[in-house]
Amino acid sequence: MICDIFNKLCEHRVVSILRGVPSETLEPVLDALCKGGVYAVEITMNTDHGLDMIERAKKHVGGRMMIGAGTVLDAQTARLCILAGADFLLSPVLAPDMIALCNQYDKLAVPGIFTPTEALQARRLGALMIKVFPVGSVGPQYIRDLLGPLGQLSLMPVGGVTLENAADFFKAGAAAIGVGSCLVSGALAAKHDFDEITRRAKAFQEAAGPRA
């Protein structure tokens, strides 16, 4: 099952990170993303009512979208996210206990790294996909540099991915990208500008292109 989740994430390619999005706007935000062709979402644990939002997302679009939990720092939080229905879990850090618990429950762990040593350690701990965070200061070339000696890794750049550089990250070898406020921001959701979310989703999917 972990491999199935991994393969779907690689197929979808764009993960929309929902941080600070008002809880009451969740369902129309998810519908807007689906309308724009983005079928993977990460609901962060530092968003109010994050666990409840994961449960609601699974009920609303579970058959259409992959639902992830973000900012998962430890095994205790990971377990709660899995019980809420998360398909995959992401962390900004390399948290071995989170990876182990995800593997135990057959869910995909996406730990955060920044160095080659951390990247290899994450893979040895069983992570099939690895989040490179934050990439804003290093850019797409850093993904290419990491994959030079570590071509067996599947990398997801996060933290600084924009519409202007998304295509370059894929050209550098990224398996998927995580996009925050450039796709969905709390302010945009609060204004109920769901058409703009759909427009941005379409633009990011176009930048991602088809899976190689």
Torsion region of 132: left, alpha or beta (phi above 0 gives left; psi -120 to 50 gives alpha): beta
pLDDT digits 0-9 by tens, 4-18 = 999 999 999 999 999
- For residue 121, what pLDDT is reported? 98
DSSP calls for 37-55: T--EEEEETTSTTHHHHHH
Q: Is 35 a catalytic residue?
A: no
Q: Is 42 a catalytic residue?
A: yes
How many C-beta atoms surround the C-beta of residue 191 within 10 A? 11
Out of 8, 27, 118, 131, the active site residue is 131
Q: Is the pTM of this model over 0.95?
A: yes
What domains sit in the chain, N to C, each tagged with a CATH number?
2-208 (3.20.20.70)
User: Averaged over 120-127, what is the pLDDT?
Assistant: 98
Confidence of residue 210 (pLDDT cuts 50, 70, 90): confident
Out of 8, 24, 42, 118, the active site residue is 42
Confidence of residue 212 (pLDDT cuts 50, 70, 90): low
pLDDT exceeds cutoff 80 at 166? yes
